[in-house]
Structure 1
Amino acid sequence: MCGIAGIYHLQTAKPVDEARVRAMTDAIAHRGPDGSGCWLAPGVGLGHLRLAIIDLVGGVQPMASGDGQAMLSYNGEVYNFAEVRAELETKGRSFRTHSDTEVIVEAWRQWGPDCVSRLNGMFAFAIHDQDRGCLFLARDRLGVKPLFYAELSDGSVIFGSELKALLAHPLLRRVPDFSAVDDYLGLGYVPDDTSIVAGVKKLPAGHYLLLRRGQPLPRPVQWWDVSFADRARGSAAKLEEQLVGLMRSAVTDRMIADVPLGAFLSGGVDSSAVVALMAEASGQAVKTCSIGFDHPDYDETRYAAQVAARFATDHRTRIVSADDYGLIDTLVHAFDEPFADASALPTYRVAELARETVTVALSGDGADEAFAGYRRLTFFNAEERVRGLMPLGLRRPLFGTLGKLYPKLDWAPQYLRAKTTLQGLGRSSEEAYALAVGVTPPALRARLYSDGAARALQGHRAEDRYIAAMRAAPARCALDRAQYADMKIWLPGDILTKVDRASMAVSLEAREPLLDYRLIEFGARLPVSMRMRGATGKWLMKRAMRRYLPDDILFRKKMGFSTPISAWFRGPLAAEAQRIARASALGETGWFDPKALDMIVTEHQSGRFDHGRLLWQLLMLDRSLGRLFGAGR
């Protein structure tokens, strides 16, 4: 796990200033505390920061190929590097180290861009090849590791593991992109492939860029996709055994390290399954850690302790305050772009705890996307059965009218909050899911925007990204399409961004075995009945894990990392809410109607409406804008 940065001149081989490359890597020093390197050649500079995990002595970067023609700077881990190395050796390639880094650069020399399809892991890397006359940038299948890039006025392309690396280059213009702000408010994060800084892009998951001097900046090339178009055959028992085998392999592959290794353990299904399989594969007690809260509604430590005792792990727990909003500025610095998933706070805390004793931690992320574990997916699947009973032309006026008439009961029990369901039944599948997965709906955003900001969007809507992904999905049914869109948008934009930034902020490598691409492809082929039955998501996975875990772990209500943000804005953050409305960087942008912001705060603090998530979004946006662009932009 590392940080990378670099500069490549597209048109002429002008010299690269080493100080600029080092400034870019210095900005992300937390990603690689164990070493740094910089390599220059005419028209190109590669920088690297190392968090040493495998081959602590030999894996120094940037690393040259054996023939000296290619140079690599790489962030990530390739778990099947031994197998790829063995294949390369049969083709005459020789190796000087025992690192996966050298395997990547030799794989490139052997297969060119096709090398990425042979790698199983998480990665973002840059290879400059003198012989082929190109710079190759690539990102792993699911987007576990990030890669930002931008074209500058001097004809260069700069790239780095985090936005702050690019911001360190003096020629990058800091101009906000308001369409990304709409994406952020609609979804809760700035999606993968775009950025809040105009002109900056993220290389999408499963894509590569092949840059050649004298040619314009190309479009990214997709080298991997997941398909829901086929269905696996076989009994539940047969598929269960296949699933367990894939999970075992994914976990054991990610236990290879030359440094202390452990796991996050929340006590939920996914992290408990990972710990169970780690314990099965390990001769020593697995090191696990959990974060608990001083508020019982948010605390899961008793479940984590139950799993830790069951597998005799070396378990550590730390209790933190549910009012842990003191981390706001730390998170703003770590994420650069505004990020509204409040579970980033406990994610940072558990990474901080883990780093005290280990350098690598396995997490349970990915199973909800692969096997349909989110509650919103079970609701969507149930609604889809109703949508299938009548055409949209009949549903839209019927349920649309009912949805308008039904009151918005934020204060009421969940079963009385039918307004969203009724509105969803009156929409297309894609529109309904796009709104269900979002945070601040279009009507509320429109209420917030100034007239000038609304015109500047030119019809752009955050939800259209989801709708387009669902309609283009290689899929058989609506559930397939929703899962596909989650994997393409939500997973890299929210979940993996959260884990990468929070873990790397404390120099911890997080590995996600349940995002092994073989598991993802297996889950995409499962019949719907094997993914979901009634209100139970991840059905086959839970059945498979019964040999390891008790039912009170497997079938209890999903909690996840939660924080009491609504209460914060009526209590300790009440003054912050008032400042958002009246004296913040948001007001200086001209994007928002001050009266609308003030009304949102008043409605929330009176208790008539729950705008806690929106206020959290606005607070994080305000802090990020101030850091990225300064006041008055």
Structure 2
Amino acid sequence: MCGIAGLYYSATPKPVDPARIQAMADAQAHRGPDGSGVWTAPGVGLGHRRLSIIDVAGSPQPMSSADQALTVTYNGEIYNFIELRTELQALGAHFVTGGDTEVLLHGWTAWGPAMLGRLNGMFAFALHDSRRQCLFMARDRLGVKPLHYVELSDGGLAFASELKGLLAHPLLRREPDIRAVEDYMAFGYVPDDACLVAGVKKLPAGHSLLIERGKSVPAPSRWWGVDFSRRATGSVKALEEELVSRMRDAVRSRLVSDVPLGAFLSGGVDSSAVVALMAEASSKAVRTCTIGFDEAGHDERAYARQIAERFATDHRERVVAADDFALIDTLVAAFDEPFADASALATYRVCELARENVTVALSGDGADEALAGYRRYKFQAAEERVRALLPVTMRASVFGKLGGIYPKADWAPRAFRAKTTLLALAEDGAEAYARSVGVTTPTLRAMLFSTEAKRALGGHRAEDRYIRAMRDAPARDAIDRAQYADFQHWLPGDILTKTDRTSMAVSLEAREPLLDYRFVEFAASLPVSMRLRGGQGKWLMKKAMERYLPKDILYRPKMGFVTPISAWFRGPLAGEAGALAKSRLLSQMFDTRTIERIATEHRAGRAEHGRTLWQLMMLERSMQRLFG
């Protein structure tokens, strides 16, 4: 895994200072501590930081073709590179390295942009073609690997894996985008179609960008998207066998490595399934690692240990304190933009533990999105059944009024939050789902933002992107639409950003076999009843894995780690909560009296505002680094 950076001048081929490219790459040294490289030519410069995984001694980057016409800087892994090498050799290609990077050079020569459809992997790369006078950038189907870019005042386009790579360029104007603040306050992360630094863009998952000399920078082009409109046919048994086959292929393809490899093991269904299939495919004991917590209600070590013993893994575990807030500044530095998913603390710790013994770790990320594993899908399905029984006007009248008078109970599990459910039933399904994936409600955001900030937003509302995605989804069912929207926003913006930044912060490569695009495409084609049945998400996967895993692993309630944020802001972080209202940066966008009020109410126990205070604190610290 690596970090990439570069500059491209499409209008006129201005000279590029290699030192500037080096600085942009070195800002991401944690992504590639094993080597670095810079290549420049008139109007273009490419930089690279390398974490050696395949062909450790060879494959330096940036890499050029034999005739020097093509040069690429690349971050990722192409899991089918050996098959592609064979195919390209049959077309006359001559390879001089043993890694996967060179496949991009020969693939571009043979197929041009169409080569993307042949790649199975996680990647972000930039390829310069001196003959065609262009720069081609692309990102993998699901958005596992990041790529940021920005047009500069001198006519150049700068790009980098992480925002900090762009921040190393002196011409980047550091101004906050108020719309991204709205998005962050709504979801707890800055989505991939936004950036806290105005003008910076993220190449969307499954998109490419072709910039030609003498032409302006176009909009990215989509080259892949998940399709929920098709339906697989066959018996439950046949689909079950196909699902296991696709999972097995996905895991095995991700075991190729020239450095030590292991897996995260939480004791949940997804990571346990990955470990089971790794053990099946490996002649050696699989290396696994688990983080435990000093709060018994959230400690899954016993379940992880059960799986480790079942498959005779080389298992390591470590206990961390639930009040592990000392990591806050480390995470702020790793993410650049504010990120309020508090599970990032635990993810960082398990990556840190894994890196002590391995350089590559497989995770179970992706199964919940692909196979409707989140509880919110179950609620959405139930609410849609009720919506279908009553006309819109009656629902708005009856449920809206009931929801308005019902007492608020955010502290309770959603199944018992009648106010939330009643208000959701009064709304359109897409509107209700968009709110359900949020953190801070539109009502509270309206109270928090200052009059000037609301004017600057110009009607921009974070939830609208979710609603558009659901209404435009290639789908047949409400659950299809919800999953599709999560693939567009939640997965790349939260889950994959969290895994990428925390793993790369400790120079660890994380691989997600359950996000193999062939597995995802198959899962999206399954009838909804095979994804979600009887209140059980991932129904077919759990049934299929009964041959590998005990039922108390497959069918136990999700536990997960719940960071005690609320307690922190009434205890060790109470001072932080009080100081938020005095922040110069926050006062430029928010009503400080409202911040002071919610901090006071929370500290006194009169109201529950822990998540909002956490969001504001992470935003303030990120803004200090970016704009302070």
What TM-score does the superposition give when structure 1 sets the normalisation length? 0.98
Whether the 8 Å CA contact 2:190–2:339 is kept in 1: the answer is: yes
Structure 2 counterpart of 1:559, one-letter code? M
State which drifts further: 64-73 or 129-138: 64-73
**What CA distance in whole angstroms lies between the structure 2 residues aligned with 1:411 and 1:521?**
37
Residue number among 606, 622, 625 corresponding to 1:624 in the alignment = 622
Q: How does 1:26-37 map to 2 (within 5 A)?
A: 26-37=26-37
Q: Secondary structure at the match of 2:536?
A: coil
Question: Do structure 1's residue 596 and structure 2's residue 582 form an aligned pair?
Answer: no
Which shows bigger deviation, 4-13 or 294-303? 294-303
Give the Cα–Cα distance (whole angstroms) in 2 for the partners of residues 105 and 515 of structure 1.
25
Q: Secondary structure at the match of 1:72?
A: strand
Task: Report the equivalent of 2:229.
Answer: 229
- Matched with 1:510 is 510
Q: Residue 45 of structure 2 aligns to which amino acid in structure 1? A: G
Q: Does 1:288 align with 2:288?
A: yes
Distance 1:468 1:413, change over 3 A: closer
Taking the TM superposition and a 5 Å limit, the aligned residue runs for 1:412-561 are 412=412, 415-561=415-561
The aligned residue for residue 10 of structure 1 is 10
2:148 corresponds to 1:148 = yes
Structure 1 residue 392 displacement after superposition: 1.4
**How far off is 1:381 after superposition?**
0.8
Q: Post-superposition shift, 1:267?
A: 0.5
Q: Which amino acid aligns with 1:305?
A: R
Deviation of the 1:586 alpha carbon: 3.9
Q: Which amino acid aligns with 1:360?
A: V
Q: Which residue of 1 aligns with 2:305?
A: 305
Report how far residue 210 of structure 1 moved. 0.2
Secondary structure in structure 1 of the residue aligned to 2:622: helix
2:607 and 2:417 mapped to 1: Cα distance? Answer: 13
- Conserved in 1, the CA contact under 8 Å of 2:586 and 2:620? no
- Matching residue's letter, 1:591: M
Question: What's the secondary structure of 2:503's corresponding residue?
Answer: helix
CA distance in 2, matches of 1:364, 1:209: 30
Equivalent position of 2:360 in the other structure: 360
Contact 2:430–2:470 (CA<8 Å) still a contact in 1? yes
Residue in 2 that maps onto 1:209: 209
- C-alpha contact (below 8 Å) 2:180/2:190 kept by paired residues: yes
Q: Deviations over 1:132-154 (max 9, x none)?
A: 11000000000000000000000
Question: Using the alignment, how far apart are the partners of 1:556 and 1:600 within structure 2?
Answer: 37
State yes or no: 1:48 paired with 2:48.
yes
User: Once the 2 structures are TM-superposed, how far is the Cα of residue 353 of structure 1 from its aligned partner?
Assistant: 0.3
Distance 1:302 1:607 in 2: 34
Matches of 1:118 and 1:606, distance apart in 2: 58
Q: CA deviation at 1:553?
A: 0.6
1:584 aligns with 2:577: no
List per-residue Cα deviations over 1:328-369 (Å, max 9, x = no partner).
Answer: 000000000000100000100000000000000000000000
Question: 1:240: which partner in 2?
Answer: 240
Q: Secondary structure at the match of 1:115?
A: helix
AA aligned to 1:273 is A
**Residue identity opposite 1:47 in structure 2:** G
Partner of 1:611: 609
CA deviation after TM superposition for structure 1 residue 535, in Å = 1.3
Aligned equivalents of 1:370, 1:480: Cα separation in 2:
10
Contact 2:263 2:361 in 1 (8 A): yes
SS of structure 2 residue aligned to 1:36: strand
TM value normalised by structure 2 = 0.99
Distance 2:391 2:366 in 1: 34
The CA distance in 1 between the partners of 2:608 and 2:377, in whole Å, is 23
Residue identity in the other structure for 1:158 = A
> Aligned equivalents of 1:553 and 1:64: distance in 2?
49
* Residue identity opposite 1:178 in structure 2: I
Superposition deviation, residue 617 in structure 1: 0.5
CA distance in 2, matches of 1:610, 1:243: 43
Preserved CA contact (<8 Å) 2:270 2:367? yes
Secondary structure of 1:209's counterpart equals strand
Letter in 1 for 2:24: M
RMSD: 0.9
* Equivalent residue number for residue 124 of structure 1: 124
Deviation (angstroms), 1:414:
5.4
Separation in structure 2 between the aligned mates of residue 412 and residue 451 of structure 1, nearest angstrom? 32
Secondary structure at 2:566 match in 1? helix
5+ unaligned residues in a row in structure 1: which ranges? none
What is the number of residues matched between the two proteins? 628
Q: Secondary structure at the match of 1:558?
A: coil
Conserved 8 A contact 1:585-1:626: no
Contact 1:149 1:157 survives alignment (8 Å) = yes
* Aligned residue type for 1:155: G
Q: CA deviation at 1:566?
A: 1.2
Q: Could you list the per-position Cα deviations for residues 10-63 of structure 1 after superposition, in whole angstroms to 9, with x for gaps in the alignment?
A: 210010011110110110000000000000001000000100000111211111
For 1:421 and 1:505, how far apart are their aligned partners in 2? Answer: 39
Please name the residue that 1:316 is paired with.
316
Q: Distance in 1 between matches of 2:133 and 2:53?
A: 31
CA drift at 1:594: 1.1
Equivalent-residue separation in structure 2 for 1:411 and 1:424 (angstroms): 17
CA contact (8 A) 1:266 1:291 kept: yes
Please, which runs of 5 or more residues in structure 2 have no aligned partner?
none
Q: Work out whether residues 6 and 46 of structure 2, in 8 Å CA contact, stay in contact via their aligned partners in 1.
A: yes
Q: Which amino acid aligns with 2:226?
A: V
One-letter amino acid matched to 1:87? E
Q: Does 1:384 align with 2:387?
A: no
* Partner in structure 2 of residue 332 of structure 1: 332
Partner Cα distance (1:120, 1:587) in 2 = 43
Shift in alpha-carbon separation, 1:419–1:286, aligned structure 2, 3 A:
same
Cα deviations across residues 168-188 of structure 1 (Å, max 9, x unaligned)?
Answer: 000000000000000000011
2:47 is paired with a residue whose SS is strand
Taking the aligned partners of 2:397 and 2:464, their CA distance within structure 1 comes to 22
Asked if 1:278 is matched to 2:258, the reply is no
Identity of aligned residues (%): 68
Kept in 2: contact 1:411–1:609 (CA 8 A): no
Residue identity opposite 2:381 in structure 1: N
Helix, strand or coil for the counterpart of 2:600? Answer: helix
For 1:616, the aligned partner's letter is W
Tell me, what secondary structure is at the counterpart of 2:453?
helix
Deviations 1:434-469 (A, max 9, x none): 000111011100010111111111000000010011
**C-alpha contact 2:76 2:145 (8 A) present in aligned 1:** yes
Whether the 8 Å contact between 1:128 and 1:134 is mirrored in structure 2 is yes
- How many Å separate the matches in 1 of 2:139 and 2:341? 24
Matched letter for residue 596 of structure 1: T
Instruction: Please report how far the alpha carbon of residue 415 of structure 1 lies from its aligned counterpart in structure 2 after TM superposition.
Output: 4.6
Partner Cα distance (1:67, 1:19) in 2? 25
Please, which moves more after superposition, 404-413 or 64-73? 404-413
